Amino acid sequence: MKVPFLDLKAQYASIKDEIAIALQQVLDNTAFAGGPFVEKFEKDFALFCQCEHAIGVGNGTAALWAALLSLGVGPGDEVITAPNTFIATAEAISFCGAKPVFIDVNEQTYNLNPILLEDAITPKTKAIIPVQLFGQMADMDSIIEVARAHGLFVIEDACQAHGAEYKGRRAGSIGDVGCFSFYPGKNLGAYGEAGAVVTNNAELADKIRMFRDHGQKKKYYHSMIGWNARMDGFQGAVLSVKLKYLAEWNEARRKNAQLYNSFLADVDDVITPMEADYAKHVYHIYAICTKNRDELINALAEKDIFCGIHYPVPIHLQEAYKFLGNKKGSFPVAERCAEEFVSLPMFAELSQEQIQKVCHKIKCFLEVRV
Ligand SMILES: Cc1ncc(COP(=O)(O)O)c(C=O)c1O
């Protein structure tokens, strides 16, 4: 029995007919760039995120970039974020001409550690980007308290957290603005590239809507310099179909996570992910920590079990960000994550049998080593 890291085909099989109808409607209406299918999804997704506005864009990186630019982040500014994220979080900051400033993360949730915020704030700091890593929210109340005290914006990088909750409030709805990716492997994944920005700020929503469409409200009348960051019609139609199932798929992921937690509870050298009291985790990624990471991944692959690493190199140690001058040892928790994380297979359709196989092989491998 093979256990893939992710099985997009299984999910597609369950909604194939609905998807075919939705795609056909886009073709019949030739509504390829923006248009009614994107608008319908925006309405549905805003509601899902408990927000007034959702703006569909081309991908999650563009969502972050549009949000930062529209909040006025630019050259000379600093934006605080976590080093253990996908590089897009930092790239979006850099592409505004601003500087990413990293702080370390909480040892249990692996999310931005609010205790470290004050020391990182300078007169140049303009915003904070908590990354809702792996589908779990950061400690938003503490982050927002510091942000408000210093007049900083909070931009949620919710690219991995569709439907995650903080004290009953949905990801994306808590900061000034929330950014999502619908990359195909996400909990809510498009059939191509797509992203969205959500906010309760009408003025900001207007700016982002204009930014994604060359700074125009009326065709060929450009009141600001914008970009082409539109969502395409096929993605809007696919996402509207899939959004109806997101809560159910997230529940299945949570059930799978509980199975993993119980089967791995007594295994030495395995730390399973914790769900914070305030959080509803949606397990985009189910990552365990182990000191024998690389050997374990190889041993599992030999048994047809496929894992991932999110992420093998923290951003401050990436070649691209060497120029910031951060050294190894600057952010010990994030660095330990990079050395010890193994992302186990996780998707809604994963069977109990498959989870048992993964856990059994992990136990066999690690028990031989102690
Ligand atoms: C935390 C995080 N931020 C940003 C992005 C960028 O999203 P996209 O790949 O849609 O541009 C991703 C996507 O992987 C992500 O996981």
Atom of ligand 1 nearest to the CA of 193: 10
pLDDT digits (tens, 9 = 90+) for 313-366: 999 999 999 999 999 999 999 999 999 999 999 999 999 999 999 999 999 998
Phi, psi of 291 (to 5 degrees): -75, -20
The residue whose CA has the least distance to atom 10 of ligand 1 is: 60
Tokens 């050294």 belong to which residue?
Answer: 327
What pLDDT was estimated at residue 137? 98
Cα of 356 from ligand 1 centre, angstroms: 30
Cα of 232 from ligand 1 centre, angstroms: 18
* Percent of the chain at pLDDT exceeding 70: 99
**DSSP designation for 68:** H
Atom of ligand 1 nearest to the CA of 131: 1
> Residues lining ligand 1, CB < 6 A?
59-61, 85-86, 88-89, 131, 157, 159-160, 181, 183, 195
pLDDT digits (tens, 9 = 90+) for 71-127: 999 999 999 999 999 999 999 999 999 999 999 999 999 999 999 999 999 999 999
Atom of ligand 1 nearest to the CA of 61: 11
Helix 8-29 vs helix 36-48: angle between axes, to the nearest 10 degrees? 130
Cα of 169 from ligand 1 centre, angstroms: 22
What pLDDT was estimated at residue 368? 72
Q: How far apart are CA 201 and CA 53, in angstroms?
A: 8
What pLDDT was estimated at residue 369? 67
Phi, psi of 153 (to 5 degrees): -80, 150
**Could you tell me the pTM of the whole model?**
0.98
- Place 286 in a pLDDT band, splitting at 50, 70 and 90: very high
Q: Say whether pLDDT at 370 is over 60.
A: no
Burial track 180-197 (b if 16+ CB lie within 10 A, e otherwise): bbbbeebbbbbbebbbbb
Atom of ligand 1 nearest to the CA of 183: 10
Q: Say whether pLDDT at 35 is over 80.
A: yes
Atom of ligand 1 nearest to the CA of 132: 1
Cα of 266 from ligand 1 centre, angstroms: 34
Mean pLDDT over the full length of the chain:
97
Cα of 61 from ligand 1 centre, angstroms: 6
What pLDDT was estimated at residue 315? 98
pLDDT digits (tens, 9 = 90+) for 207-263: 999 999 999 999 999 999 999 999 999 999 999 999 999 999 999 999 999 999 999
Q: Which of 111, 112, 160, 337 has the most ligand 1 atoms within 8 A of CB, as the residue to mutate?
A: 160
What pLDDT was estimated at residue 262? 97
Cα of 158 from ligand 1 centre, angstroms: 9
290 Cα distance to chain centroid: 23
Residues 6+ apart with CB under 8 A from 201: 53, 176, 177
Which of residues 265 and 368 earns the better pLDDT score?
265
